[in-house]
Structure 1
Protein backbone atom coordinates (compact mmCIF):
# COMPACT_ATOMS: atom_id res chain seq x y z
CA UNK A 1 0.00 0.00 0.00
CA UNK A 2 1.39 3.36 -0.96
CA UNK A 3 1.13 6.51 1.09
CA UNK A 4 1.84 9.88 -0.59
CA UNK A 5 1.62 13.21 1.21
CA UNK A 6 0.38 16.02 -1.01
CA UNK A 7 0.46 19.73 -0.23
CA UNK A 8 -2.72 20.62 -2.08
CA UNK A 9 -5.97 18.78 -2.42
CA UNK A 10 -6.30 19.45 -6.16
CA UNK A 11 -3.93 16.59 -6.98
CA UNK A 12 -6.16 14.14 -5.09
CA UNK A 13 -9.77 14.86 -5.97
CA UNK A 14 -11.77 17.38 -7.96
CA UNK A 15 -13.59 18.63 -4.85
CA UNK A 16 -13.03 22.21 -3.71
CA UNK A 17 -9.84 22.70 -1.66
CA UNK A 18 -10.35 23.41 2.03
CA UNK A 19 -9.23 26.68 3.61
CA UNK A 20 -8.60 26.44 7.34
CA UNK A 21 -9.08 29.64 9.36
CA UNK A 22 -8.04 29.53 13.01
CA UNK A 23 -9.09 32.43 15.19
CA UNK A 24 -7.43 33.82 18.28
CA UNK A 25 -7.11 37.00 20.31
CA UNK A 26 -5.02 40.13 19.93
CA UNK A 27 -2.97 40.04 23.17
CA UNK A 28 -3.15 43.85 23.57
CA UNK A 29 -6.83 44.49 22.79
CA UNK A 30 -8.46 41.11 23.41
CA UNK A 31 -10.27 41.40 20.08
CA UNK A 32 -10.76 38.41 17.81
CA UNK A 33 -8.20 37.94 15.04
CA UNK A 34 -7.41 35.35 12.41
CA UNK A 35 -4.32 33.49 13.64
CA UNK A 36 -3.95 31.27 10.57
CA UNK A 37 -5.55 31.16 7.12
CA UNK A 38 -4.11 28.30 5.10
CA UNK A 39 -4.76 25.43 2.74
CA UNK A 40 -4.12 22.22 4.63
CA UNK A 41 -1.96 19.28 3.59
CA UNK A 42 -3.62 16.07 2.50
CA UNK A 43 -2.42 12.53 2.96
CA UNK A 44 -3.39 10.20 0.13
CA UNK A 45 -4.21 6.51 0.50
CA UNK A 46 -4.59 5.55 -3.19
CA UNK A 47 -5.04 1.83 -2.49
CA UNK A 48 -8.06 2.72 -0.35
CA UNK A 49 -9.40 5.42 -2.69
CA UNK A 50 -9.32 8.18 -0.09
CA UNK A 51 -7.39 11.16 1.21
CA UNK A 52 -7.25 12.58 4.76
CA UNK A 53 -6.89 16.19 5.87
CA UNK A 54 -6.39 16.84 9.59
CA UNK A 55 -7.97 20.24 10.18
CA UNK A 56 -7.19 20.43 13.90
CA UNK A 57 -6.48 18.33 16.96
CA UNK A 58 -6.36 18.76 20.71
CA UNK A 59 -4.68 16.58 23.30
CA UNK A 60 -6.84 17.53 26.28
CA UNK A 61 -10.55 17.81 27.04
CA UNK A 62 -11.50 20.46 27.76
CA UNK A 63 -9.03 22.16 25.43
CA UNK A 64 -6.48 24.57 26.93
CA UNK A 65 -6.64 27.81 24.90
CA UNK A 66 -4.56 29.91 27.34
CA UNK A 67 -1.48 31.40 25.71
CA UNK A 68 -2.25 29.45 22.53
CA UNK A 69 -1.38 26.15 24.25
CA UNK A 70 -3.77 24.31 21.92
CA UNK A 71 -2.05 25.71 18.80
CA UNK A 72 1.35 24.61 20.09
CA UNK A 73 0.01 21.16 21.00
CA UNK A 74 -1.61 20.72 17.57
CA UNK A 75 1.57 21.78 15.78
CA UNK A 76 3.66 19.40 17.90
CA UNK A 77 1.24 16.51 17.34
CA UNK A 78 1.21 16.97 13.57
CA UNK A 79 5.01 17.43 13.43
CA UNK A 80 5.53 14.23 15.42
CA UNK A 81 3.88 12.15 12.69
CA UNK A 82 2.31 10.01 15.41
CA UNK A 83 -1.33 11.12 15.24
CA UNK A 84 -3.59 8.12 14.76
CA UNK A 85 -7.26 8.33 13.89
CA UNK A 86 -7.98 9.44 17.48
CA UNK A 87 -6.02 11.81 19.75
CA UNK A 88 -5.85 10.09 23.17
CA UNK A 89 -7.47 12.40 25.74
CA UNK A 90 -8.41 14.90 23.02
CA UNK A 91 -10.18 15.52 19.73
CA UNK A 92 -9.46 15.41 16.00
CA UNK A 93 -11.26 17.23 13.19
CA UNK A 94 -10.57 15.42 9.92
CA UNK A 95 -11.94 15.73 6.39
CA UNK A 96 -11.90 12.62 4.19
CA UNK A 97 -12.43 12.56 0.42
CA UNK A 98 -13.60 9.24 -1.05
CA UNK A 99 -12.96 8.34 -4.70
CA UNK A 100 -15.82 6.91 -6.76
CA UNK A 101 -16.18 3.22 -5.92
CA UNK A 102 -13.55 3.32 -3.15
CA UNK A 103 -13.03 0.01 -1.36
CA UNK A 104 -14.70 0.02 2.06
CA UNK A 105 -12.22 -0.24 4.96
CA UNK A 106 -14.06 -1.66 7.99
CA UNK A 107 -12.43 -0.53 11.24
CA UNK A 108 -13.14 0.58 14.80
CA UNK A 109 -11.87 3.55 16.74
CA UNK A 110 -12.44 3.73 20.49
CA UNK A 111 -14.02 7.13 20.20
CA UNK A 112 -17.25 9.06 19.81
CA UNK A 113 -17.31 10.36 16.23
CA UNK A 114 -19.61 12.84 14.57
CA UNK A 115 -19.51 12.41 10.77
CA UNK A 116 -21.19 14.84 8.38
CA UNK A 117 -21.56 14.15 4.67
CA UNK A 118 -20.44 17.36 2.98
CA UNK A 119 -20.48 16.30 -0.69
CA UNK A 120 -21.82 13.32 -2.60
CA UNK A 121 -23.22 10.06 -1.29
CA UNK A 122 -21.61 7.77 1.28
CA UNK A 123 -22.69 4.31 2.35
CA UNK A 124 -22.06 3.34 5.98
CA UNK A 125 -21.29 -0.37 6.37
CA UNK A 126 -21.50 -2.04 9.81
CA UNK A 127 -20.05 -5.40 10.85
CA UNK A 128 -23.59 -6.65 11.51
CA UNK A 129 -24.26 -6.39 7.78
CA UNK A 130 -26.43 -3.30 8.14
CA UNK A 131 -25.88 -0.63 5.50
CA UNK A 132 -27.19 2.92 5.23
CA UNK A 133 -26.84 5.26 2.24
CA UNK A 134 -26.40 8.88 3.34
CA UNK A 135 -26.38 12.15 1.41
CA UNK A 136 -25.17 15.70 1.80
CA UNK A 137 -26.09 17.12 5.19
CA UNK A 138 -26.75 13.75 6.84
CA UNK A 139 -25.00 13.13 10.17
CA UNK A 140 -23.74 9.90 11.73
CA UNK A 141 -22.96 9.55 15.43
CA UNK A 142 -20.52 6.65 15.42
CA UNK A 143 -20.03 5.22 18.93
CA UNK A 144 -16.93 2.99 18.77
CA UNK A 145 -18.60 0.50 16.41
CA UNK A 146 -17.01 -1.59 13.64
CA UNK A 147 -17.83 0.42 10.54
CA UNK A 148 -16.64 1.45 7.12
CA UNK A 149 -17.41 4.08 4.50
CA UNK A 150 -17.96 3.45 0.80
CA UNK A 151 -18.68 5.82 -2.05
CA UNK A 152 -21.29 3.99 -4.15
CA UNK A 153 -21.02 6.44 -7.06
CA UNK A 154 -19.15 5.32 -10.16
CA UNK A 155 -18.32 8.91 -11.17
CA UNK A 156 -18.66 11.41 -8.30
CA UNK A 157 -16.28 12.00 -5.37
CA UNK A 158 -17.68 12.24 -1.83
CA UNK A 159 -16.47 14.18 1.22
CA UNK A 160 -17.10 13.71 4.93
CA UNK A 161 -16.01 15.78 7.90
CA UNK A 162 -15.42 13.98 11.18
CA UNK A 163 -15.00 15.20 14.73
CA UNK A 164 -13.51 12.35 16.79
CA UNK A 165 -13.25 12.54 20.55
CA UNK A 166 -11.57 10.02 22.81
CA UNK A 167 -13.87 8.10 25.14
CA UNK A 168 -13.56 6.20 28.40
CA UNK A 169 -12.72 2.48 28.13
CA UNK A 170 -15.81 0.26 28.13
CA UNK A 171 -17.01 -3.28 27.46
CA UNK A 172 -19.71 -4.74 25.22
CA UNK A 173 -20.86 -8.36 25.54
CA UNK A 174 -18.14 -8.96 28.16
CA UNK A 175 -15.31 -7.82 25.87
CA UNK A 176 -13.30 -4.59 26.08
CA UNK A 177 -13.85 -2.33 23.07
CA UNK A 178 -10.47 -1.55 21.48
CA UNK A 179 -9.27 0.10 18.29
CA UNK A 180 -9.23 -2.30 15.32
CA UNK A 181 -7.77 -0.87 12.11
CA UNK A 182 -8.67 -3.81 9.83
CA UNK A 183 -7.41 -3.27 6.28
CA UNK A 184 -5.89 0.05 7.37
CA UNK A 185 -3.39 -1.72 9.66
CA UNK A 186 0.09 -0.61 8.69
CA UNK A 187 -1.30 2.29 6.65
CA UNK A 188 -2.92 4.42 9.36
CA UNK A 189 -1.03 4.91 12.62
CA UNK A 190 -2.64 3.34 15.72
CA UNK A 191 -4.17 5.86 18.12
CA UNK A 192 -2.86 4.32 21.33
CA UNK A 193 -6.03 5.02 23.32
Structure 2
Protein backbone atom coordinates (compact mmCIF):
# COMPACT_ATOMS: atom_id res chain seq x y z
CA UNK A 1 0.00 0.00 0.00
CA UNK A 2 1.30 3.45 -0.87
CA UNK A 3 1.00 6.60 1.22
CA UNK A 4 0.94 10.31 0.32
CA UNK A 5 3.87 11.18 2.63
CA UNK A 6 7.12 9.74 3.93
CA UNK A 7 6.80 8.10 7.33
CA UNK A 8 10.26 9.41 8.29
CA UNK A 9 9.81 12.66 10.21
CA UNK A 10 12.00 15.76 9.98
CA UNK A 11 12.69 15.88 6.23
CA UNK A 12 11.26 18.47 3.83
CA UNK A 13 8.46 17.47 1.50
CA UNK A 14 9.19 17.73 -2.19
CA UNK A 15 7.44 17.57 -5.53
CA UNK A 16 8.31 16.00 -8.86
CA UNK A 17 7.67 17.59 -12.24
CA UNK A 18 7.03 15.29 -15.20
CA UNK A 19 6.86 16.68 -18.73
CA UNK A 20 5.01 15.55 -21.86
CA UNK A 21 3.81 17.06 -25.17
CA UNK A 22 0.51 18.52 -26.25
CA UNK A 23 -1.21 17.62 -29.55
CA UNK A 24 0.94 20.22 -31.36
CA UNK A 25 4.20 18.65 -30.12
CA UNK A 26 4.86 21.48 -27.67
CA UNK A 27 6.39 20.57 -24.30
CA UNK A 28 4.04 20.87 -21.31
CA UNK A 29 3.90 19.56 -17.74
CA UNK A 30 2.09 16.28 -17.10
CA UNK A 31 2.07 16.88 -13.33
CA UNK A 32 -0.14 19.41 -11.64
CA UNK A 33 1.39 22.71 -10.52
CA UNK A 34 1.85 22.57 -6.74
CA UNK A 35 1.97 26.40 -6.65
CA UNK A 36 -1.67 26.62 -7.78
CA UNK A 37 -4.38 25.92 -5.26
CA UNK A 38 -6.85 24.77 -7.92
CA UNK A 39 -6.48 21.09 -8.76
CA UNK A 40 -6.04 20.33 -12.45
CA UNK A 41 -8.38 18.27 -14.59
CA UNK A 42 -8.60 14.55 -13.93
CA UNK A 43 -7.20 13.38 -17.26
CA UNK A 44 -4.62 14.59 -19.73
CA UNK A 45 -1.88 17.13 -19.13
CA UNK A 46 -1.54 18.20 -15.53
CA UNK A 47 -3.48 15.20 -14.23
CA UNK A 48 -0.64 13.52 -12.32
CA UNK A 49 -0.04 14.62 -8.75
CA UNK A 50 3.24 16.44 -8.19
CA UNK A 51 3.78 14.59 -4.89
CA UNK A 52 5.40 11.15 -5.02
CA UNK A 53 3.73 8.14 -3.43
CA UNK A 54 5.57 6.46 -0.55
CA UNK A 55 6.08 2.93 0.75
CA UNK A 56 6.68 3.27 4.50
CA UNK A 57 8.54 0.86 6.77
CA UNK A 58 9.34 1.20 10.50
CA UNK A 59 12.62 3.17 10.02
CA UNK A 60 12.66 4.04 6.31
CA UNK A 61 10.49 5.10 3.39
CA UNK A 62 10.73 4.84 -0.39
CA UNK A 63 9.25 7.65 -2.52
CA UNK A 64 8.65 6.75 -6.16
CA UNK A 65 9.78 9.46 -8.56
CA UNK A 66 9.27 7.50 -11.80
CA UNK A 67 9.56 4.00 -13.25
CA UNK A 68 9.67 2.44 -16.72
CA UNK A 69 9.33 -1.21 -17.67
CA UNK A 70 11.71 -1.19 -20.64
CA UNK A 71 14.72 0.67 -21.99
CA UNK A 72 14.80 2.79 -23.96
CA UNK A 73 11.39 4.06 -22.86
CA UNK A 74 8.76 4.66 -25.54
CA UNK A 75 6.95 7.98 -25.11
CA UNK A 76 4.58 7.34 -28.04
CA UNK A 77 0.99 7.15 -26.91
CA UNK A 78 2.22 7.93 -23.37
CA UNK A 79 2.85 4.22 -22.77
CA UNK A 80 5.52 5.07 -20.22
CA UNK A 81 3.02 7.20 -18.28
CA UNK A 82 0.56 4.31 -18.18
CA UNK A 83 3.30 2.07 -16.77
CA UNK A 84 4.24 4.68 -14.19
CA UNK A 85 0.60 5.12 -13.12
CA UNK A 86 0.43 1.38 -12.45
CA UNK A 87 3.55 1.55 -10.27
CA UNK A 88 2.26 4.52 -8.24
CA UNK A 89 -0.33 2.27 -6.62
CA UNK A 90 1.90 -0.81 -6.31
CA UNK A 91 5.55 0.25 -6.11
CA UNK A 92 7.99 -1.91 -8.08
CA UNK A 93 10.68 -4.01 -6.47
CA UNK A 94 14.19 -2.65 -6.13
CA UNK A 95 14.88 -3.24 -9.84
CA UNK A 96 12.55 -3.61 -12.84
CA UNK A 97 13.97 -6.12 -15.32
CA UNK A 98 14.64 -4.18 -18.51
CA UNK A 99 13.37 -0.93 -16.98
CA UNK A 100 14.36 1.88 -14.64
CA UNK A 101 13.41 3.04 -11.15
CA UNK A 102 13.91 6.58 -9.82
CA UNK A 103 13.26 6.92 -6.08
CA UNK A 104 14.01 8.78 -2.89
CA UNK A 105 15.01 6.80 0.20
CA UNK A 106 14.40 8.34 3.63
CA UNK A 107 16.12 6.88 6.69
CA UNK A 108 15.25 7.68 10.31
CA UNK A 109 18.07 8.33 12.79
CA UNK A 110 19.95 5.09 13.44
CA UNK A 111 18.18 3.18 10.64
CA UNK A 112 20.15 0.37 8.95
CA UNK A 113 19.31 -1.64 5.84
CA UNK A 114 20.10 -5.35 5.56
CA UNK A 115 23.31 -6.32 3.76
CA UNK A 116 22.16 -6.86 0.18
CA UNK A 117 23.06 -7.07 -3.50
CA UNK A 118 20.86 -6.24 -6.47
CA UNK A 119 21.65 -7.12 -10.07
CA UNK A 120 21.73 -3.48 -11.06
CA UNK A 121 23.76 -0.35 -11.46
CA UNK A 122 22.58 2.30 -9.03
CA UNK A 123 23.37 6.01 -9.38
CA UNK A 124 22.68 8.12 -6.32
CA UNK A 125 23.18 11.38 -4.45
CA UNK A 126 22.85 12.14 -0.74
CA UNK A 127 20.30 14.98 -0.43
CA UNK A 128 19.95 15.38 3.35
CA UNK A 129 22.04 14.20 6.30
CA UNK A 130 24.78 11.59 6.08
CA UNK A 131 24.75 7.91 5.15
CA UNK A 132 27.34 5.28 6.00
CA UNK A 133 27.92 2.84 3.12
CA UNK A 134 29.36 -0.49 4.26
CA UNK A 135 30.57 -3.21 1.87
CA UNK A 136 30.75 -6.93 2.68
CA UNK A 137 34.55 -6.56 2.81
CA UNK A 138 34.02 -4.50 5.97
CA UNK A 139 35.08 -1.27 4.24
CA UNK A 140 32.97 1.77 5.18
CA UNK A 141 32.60 5.29 3.81
CA UNK A 142 30.65 8.20 5.26
CA UNK A 143 28.73 9.90 2.45
CA UNK A 144 27.78 13.50 3.13
CA UNK A 145 25.19 15.80 1.60
CA UNK A 146 25.94 16.23 -2.12
CA UNK A 147 28.14 13.12 -2.37
CA UNK A 148 27.41 10.79 -5.29
CA UNK A 149 27.72 7.00 -5.38
CA UNK A 150 27.64 4.28 -8.02
CA UNK A 151 26.72 0.78 -6.85
CA UNK A 152 27.86 -1.84 -9.37
CA UNK A 153 26.09 -4.97 -8.14
CA UNK A 154 28.12 -5.03 -4.91
CA UNK A 155 27.02 -6.46 -1.57
CA UNK A 156 26.39 -3.48 0.73
CA UNK A 157 24.26 -1.95 3.45
CA UNK A 158 23.19 1.59 4.34
CA UNK A 159 23.14 3.16 7.80
CA UNK A 160 22.07 6.56 9.03
CA UNK A 161 24.76 7.08 11.70
CA UNK A 162 23.04 10.09 13.29
CA UNK A 163 21.19 9.64 16.56
CA UNK A 164 18.98 12.67 15.90
CA UNK A 165 18.86 13.64 12.18
CA UNK A 166 17.02 11.82 9.38
CA UNK A 167 18.73 11.30 6.01
CA UNK A 168 17.54 11.23 2.39
CA UNK A 169 19.18 9.92 -0.74
CA UNK A 170 17.91 9.75 -4.30
CA UNK A 171 18.79 6.84 -6.57
CA UNK A 172 18.23 5.66 -10.16
CA UNK A 173 18.40 1.88 -10.54
CA UNK A 174 18.92 0.08 -13.86
CA UNK A 175 19.14 -3.67 -14.41
CA UNK A 176 22.63 -5.04 -15.09
CA UNK A 177 24.01 -8.38 -16.17
CA UNK A 178 25.00 -10.74 -13.37
CA UNK A 179 28.66 -10.46 -12.45
CA UNK A 180 30.62 -13.68 -12.98
CA UNK A 181 33.47 -14.19 -10.50
CA UNK A 182 36.03 -16.76 -11.63
CA UNK A 183 35.64 -19.93 -9.58
CA UNK A 184 32.54 -18.62 -7.79
CA UNK A 185 29.99 -18.27 -10.58
CA UNK A 186 27.35 -15.57 -10.88
CA UNK A 187 26.71 -13.15 -8.02
CA UNK A 188 22.93 -13.21 -7.65
CA UNK A 189 20.49 -10.85 -5.94
CA UNK A 190 20.72 -11.45 -2.20
CA UNK A 191 19.34 -9.96 1.02
CA UNK A 192 20.82 -10.93 4.42
CA UNK A 193 18.35 -10.15 7.19
For Structure 1 versus Structure 2, the TM-score category normalised by the shorter chain is: 0.7 to 0.9
Aligned pairs, number: 175
In our comparison, the structure showing a higher alpha carbon Rg is: 2
> 2:179, 2:135 → 1: CA distance?
19
The structure 1 segments of at least 4 consecutive aligned residues displaced by more than 2 Å after TM superposition are 76-79
Which protein is richer in helix relative to its size?
1
What's the offset of the Cα at 1:82? 6.5
TM-score, reference length from structure 1: 0.85
CA contact (8 A) 1:88 1:166 kept: yes
TM alignment of 1:110-125, pairs within 5 A: 110-125=119-134
> 2:87, 2:130 → 1: CA distance?
31
What is the Cα-based RMSD across aligned positions, in Å? 1.6
Name structure 2 gaps, 5 residues minimum: 33-49
Name structure 1 gaps, 5 residues minimum: 184-193
CA contact (8 A) 1:113 1:143 kept: yes
> 1:22, 1:5 → 2: CA distance?
19
Q: How far does the alpha carbon of each residue in 1:38-94 deviate from its partner, in whole angstroms, 9 at most, with x for none? A: 211211110xx1111111111111111111111112223444x37210011011001
Secondary structure in 2 matching 1:71: helix
**2:10 aligned residue (14, 25, 29):** 14
**What residue number does 1:128 align with?**
137
What's the offset of the Cα at 1:6? 2.6
Q: How far does the alpha carbon of each residue in 1:67-124 deviate from its partner, in whole angstroms, 9 at most, with x for none? A: 1111112223444x37210011011001000111112321111000011101111000
